[in-house]
Structure formats: structure tokens, C-alpha cells
Structure 1
């Protein structure tokens, strides 16, 4: 019987370069590298038996890939599409597992505060959703919809009846308007608050600087050197900070901060200086506004809504202080804490730019609308539970 001849393969220069990179590249998968070597040998006119001896492959393997490339070109080197293993879980089972993750454990009678993947897998099996499902499978299902029931965020209902009115005034000031009128060049907006209980923790061993493949090391044990309060006033549009350290917060320390700012230019001779504050005890209510106006006639106190300190831009500056000055806390005494804070003020004021505040009154309306819908849904759900 006649002997079947090997399929001839002719390569272009570009195909040969591509195959060489594939055959000798150290990042190429082993299966692709072997297939590329078979094709290169075949393009040189070598027989299948010779290629099998040189590559250590079975003759049938060489014959198969040589034939596939001869008829399909280089794209035939890739694996063909396969049906794969049949799915072990139906879409209904996966949907039921995800629905379980979207329920609070207390609603299902499980004595847990929040779900974990092993607990979800165990509960799904107990409910008969699946005979067996592993925690890793459950984790993969939840990742498809970015569900993370083991995480939680705290939030609070709006209780201030004048929330929108007060929040709108603050947002208008950030946009340099007041009662529908644009602010003048001699009108300023100050955001002020206190950062309480900044401790001086003296580490029992010196902090070690970072090194190669090693993070900075801070000793866990420390001695307490007391605590102080840091009061700051932030000029919203000029990005300038005025701060002072006090043993504690209160009316007198806050008044001292106001006097520190209002006694210097351009605030002393300004037409109006708006002070945005929260509802802390140092500056709460109309009495605090009257006290400020009596001491400085050109000062106007504007309160944020209750539980809305996030509208106060000085809180952003405090977060910067926390990250860059306070943490990790390693100070010998309170004097060093105060010196570090004052030095940071000078450094910050030298290069600071105003915060890019993007939350507007339109965003406020959208937020309140979402909260109203959420409140209505919550009340409807509570009514249904009580009726049942």
C-alpha cells in the first residue's frame, strides 16, 4: 500500500517570526510552544517521525497539529471551542443563593449579624437549594453581582426638619452666593470646627524608618502623655488654615479661635465673614450666633443641619491632619503635638489649593428624593410585617 505523505507547510516571513517568538518565548504557554515547534520543523520539510523524535512527542500528536495548521493556518494552533463539563448548578439555584445573601440573617431566623460565604453555603444546603455547595463557589456567585454581605456601612435618618434649608445655605456659600446674591470680593467663607482628643502616645521603643521590602515599624506599647483639642478655621475659597491647640473644647476656646482669625486682615475689615459650623456645644444655636455677632459685627454664623458635619469642609482638612500628622501617633508630650500641628499649618498653607467641592443643591435634591423613597419603602415594609 502507498505510504501517506506528510502535509506540506509553507510559511511567510511574518508567520515564521511569529512562530519563533511563540516557540522560544519564556512567557508562552507550554502547549503553544510545543505546537509552534512542530510547525517550524514541518516548514523545514522534516518528516513527522523525525519531528516526533526531536520533540519527544507521539507521532499522532505531530501528525494532528501538522495537518491542522496545513489546512487552517496559524489560527488553527489555538484550542477549538469545547462544550466543557456540564453545569452542576442551575440558574435557579444560583439565583436562590444570591437572594439569600440579599436578606438579613435575622430575617431568616439565623443567629448571625451578617453573612459570610461559609455560612451562606451552609444555609443554602440546609434549605435544600443544593445538595452541596462550597464557600468558594458561593464567593464566585456573589462576585458576579459584586455582592458582599459580610461588609456593612452605618447611616442615619435625617431628623432635622430644616435640613434642606440649612444645607442649601451652606452649599450656596461654597458657590459664593448668599440669599440669591453673589458674594463680593470683600466677603469670605470660613469653615470651623474642633478635632478633640489628640493624644500624645510615647512609644516604648523608637519608631523604625522603612527599609527595603519593609514598612515603617511602630511599637505597639506606649505611654500616655495626655490629650489636647485642635481647633481650626479653614478659608474655603482661599485654602488657608488658622489653628490653635487648647486643653479642651468649649465656648472660650472657640471664641479665641474666632478672635485669632477676625483680628487679622482681610477679615477684620471685610464686609461679611460667614462662619460655617456644626451643632457642637461650643457654637450651638442662636445664642452662639448672637454672641459671635456681638463680638464681631461683620461675622455671620451659619449652622449645618443636625447630623450633617460632612457638609463642613474643615472636616476634610481634619482628615488630612489625621493621615499626615497624627497617625501613627508617636509623640513624647503634648508640646511636640502642638509644634507638629503648627508646623504642618505653615506647610499646608504654602501649597494648598481649595477643595474641589462637587456636591451641589441639585445633588442635595437627588439625595433627599432617594431618602424619601427609602423611608416610604421602609414604612410600607414595617406595616406589612405588623399586619402579618
Structure 2
């Protein structure tokens, strides 16, 4: 099989795209490895599949192109689940599992078992997983919604959301936090010796070259990001970055949204705040970092630049981060915040009510 330059580029895009399922990326690798001239038995070992599976994906790609590498719809009959049960699954998925289950988060199998036990309705874990995919719910990756125990939760939410929706005239709102211990990983594909051990099924080796910490400040009004990588994340490092973040906005009131970490409230930081009354801190509620907009940006840079990158040193990793920030700022746009404080608090009260009902039901 021969590939055009365009076909090769399309397959490589599947391999390295963060939005493509790992199984599909592996199928694209199989095709590329075979085109490189590797023997099918060696490709099977590299990909961790059987030799007939290699033939299957080569045949499908040859007949259908990229579409042949995607999963085909299953022919099984659609599972019939009452609307009330579907709604209950969605509601439960956005809360932490009841304490009586001993679970830290939901899995599709545990959710299916819980529904069968509490509702008397049998659903498959495949149905639960599909329901999650269709509604953008990922408890297995991000954990579940946890109700903050901060006694000032409502006041802090109202304060911060007020800044997002109606910032004071002429003021600047900065969302600041740090992403810690970012690893410089060198992903190296192992060579295939003649006497390759068939039990070895790794597709990559991982070499760790160290870590860095990223301080970042998002200008809520413009979407622009200021970032700086440092070897440490103590109070001195935070204060130095804070000064750099605030410096371009001299003469304006600056409101800073950040987590209430010890490094953010050291005596040196508090003394600097006292000397700079135009800068005011707004702390997020405990356990509610999701309200800090810089966390959304951290998620984006992780998906688009860091997670699948190859970094032979911390220096290379830092350059990648700096280049990404420069690229981001060329077309920066502010995130659109639409939820009001009242809407957020109403949802929290609903979650609290659901949790109480679950606990009461399980106690009976």
C-alpha cells in the first residue's frame, strides 16, 4: 500500500490529535507502520493486537479511507429506559456517590448497579456510558460535583460572579492561579530488534526530565494570558509574579480572583497588598476552583499543548508553554460567563437536597 502526502498527513493527524479516541489513533498507527515497511507480525506486537486485527484495519482503510478506521454503529436494539430513570442517572452523575457506597466517584458499572439496586430497573453500563458521552459528563476523568463546605460560599460566589458579569467601570479583573509540577516527558518509540520479545507490547517509553510550575494570569476582560514558569511555587514566587501581572495596569483598580492557598496569603503578600490598595483579592470558596476562569484556560493548554507533547528537557517544555501563550494572545478572546450567582446557588441547593434524599433513603 502506498500513501499520498495528504493521506499520510491525515493519518498522522489522527495519531496526534487530543480529540481522537486512543483506539482510533492506534489503528492509524497500524496503517502508518505497515506503510513504513514493517512486517505485520511486528506491527501487531507494537500495537498490542493480533495479526488478523492488523489485516482488518489495513483492509478497512484500503476500502473506506479514514472512515474505515472509525467505530461502526452497533446493531443491537436500543435500550429502552424510562425517562424518569434517565433523569435520575443524569442527576446522580453530577453529585458525589452516597457515603454508604464507599465510592470516591462514579463509574458506569457502579452507576448501573446503583440504579438497579435503588430503582429496581436494570440498565447496562454501556447505556450509562453513552448517556454520559451524549451529555458531556466525565466523572471518571474529572471527579464529581462536591458541595463546598465553605461557610461563606454564597457570599464568595456572588462576589466573583458579580465581577465576571458586571466588572467595576475602568477596573481590570485578573484570574490567577498556578499549575504545579508539569512534567517534561520524552515519549520515545522503542526500536524493533530482530529478536524482539513478543511479550513486550509498549508503544512508547517515557523518560522524565524534571518538572516546572506555571503561574498564569487571565485578563477576564480581554482573554489575554500572562504566564511564567518557575522551579518553585512558594510565597516569594507568587508575589514576584503578582507584581508582574499587575504592573501593566498601573493607575487602575485591579481585582484578582484566586484560590485561598497559604502561598497567596503570606505576610509578605499581605504587606504588599496593604501598600497597594488599588489591588484587591477575591478568594474562591473552598473546594470550588471551577469558578476561577484561569482553570478553564489550564484545561485548554493541557489538552492542546502539554498532554501529548514530547519534551526532552524542562527547557524545551518551558519554550512550548511560552510559544503557546504567545499564540493564544494573538487571537485572545474573553470567556463568556453566563451563569448568575442566583442560578449557581440554586443548582447547589438542588444538589444538597438530592444528596440529603439519597442519604435518608439509604438510612431506611
Is the structural similarity TM-score above 0.5?
A: yes
Within 5 Å, give how 1:70-219 maps onto structure 2: 116=109, 139=124, 153-177=143-167, 183-185=168-170, 187-205=171-189
**Alpha-carbon displacement from aligned partner over 1:235-291 (angstroms, at most 9, x marks no partner):** 001111111000021111111111112222xx1121x10010012232148x57733
Determine if the alignment matches structure 1 residue 280 to structure 2 residue 261.
yes
Q: 1:325 aligns with which of 293, 305, 319?
A: 305
> Structure 1 residues 284, 159: closer, same or farther in 2, change over 3 A?
farther
More helix by share: 2
Q: Distance in 2 between matches of 1:184 and 1:146?
A: 43
Within 5 Å, give how 1:197-276 maps onto structure 2: 197-205=181-189, 220-264=204-248, 267-270=249-252, 272-276=253-257
> Structure 1 residues 368, 116: closer, same or farther in 2, change over 3 A?
closer
Determine if the alignment matches structure 1 residue 364 to structure 2 residue 353.
no
Within 5 Å, give how 1:366-381 maps onto structure 2: 366-381=346-361
Contact 1:203 1:222 (C-alpha < 8 Å) held by counterparts:
yes
Q: Distance in 2 between matches of 1:304 and 1:227?
A: 27
Superposed CA RMSD in Å reads 4.0
> Structure 1 residues 373, 269: closer, same or farther in 2, change over 3 A?
same
Q: Distance in 1 between matches of 2:332 and 2:149?
A: 35
Bigger relative contact order, structure 1 or 2 (CA pairs below 8 A, ≥6 apart): 2
> Structure 1 residues 203, 292: closer, same or farther in 2, change over 3 A?
same
Q: 1:354 aligns with which of 334, 356, 359?
A: 334
Determine if the alignment matches structure 1 residue 342 to structure 2 residue 326.
no
> Structure 1 residues 163, 223: closer, same or farther in 2, change over 3 A?
same
Contact 1:203 1:219 (C-alpha < 8 Å) held by counterparts:
no
> Structure 1 residues 333, 146: closer, same or farther in 2, change over 3 A?
closer
Q: Tell me the residue number matched to 2:283.
A: 303
Unaligned 5+ runs, structure 2: 1-79, 191-201
Q: Distance in 2 between matches of 1:326 and 1:346?
A: 15
**Alpha-carbon displacement from aligned partner over 1:328-352 (angstroms, at most 9, x marks no partner):** 1311111111111111111111101
**Alpha-carbon displacement from aligned partner over 1:210-230 (angstroms, at most 9, x marks no partner):** xxxxxxxx9521221100000
What TM-score, normalized to structure 1? Answer: 0.55
Which deviates more from structure 2 when the two are superposed, residues 328-337 or residues 301-310?
Answer: 328-337
Q: 2:292 aligns with which of 312, 315, 321?
A: 312
Q: Distance in 1 between matches of 2:358 and 2:273?
A: 43
Q: Distance in 2 between matches of 1:381 and 1:158?
A: 22
> Structure 1 residues 169, 326: closer, same or farther in 2, change over 3 A?
same
How far apart are residue 295 of structure 1 and its match?
A: 4.7
Contact 2:186 2:209 (C-alpha < 8 Å) held by counterparts:
yes
> Structure 1 residues 159, 202: closer, same or farther in 2, change over 3 A?
same
Q: Distance in 2 between matches of 1:380 and 1:106?
A: 11
Q: Distance in 2 between matches of 1:159 and 1:106?
A: 16
Q: Classify the secondary structure of the residue corresponding to 1:263.
A: helix
Contact 1:278 1:284 (C-alpha < 8 Å) held by counterparts:
no
Name the count of aligned residue pairs: 249
Unaligned 5+ runs, structure 1: 1-90, 130-136, 178-182, 207-217
Q: Classify the secondary structure of the residue corresponding to 1:189.
A: strand
Q: Tell me the residue number matched to 2:18.
A: none
Q: Distance in 1 between matches of 2:214 and 2:336?
A: 24
Q: Distance in 2 between matches of 1:367 and 1:249?
A: 34
Q: Distance in 2 between matches of 1:151 and 1:198?
A: 23
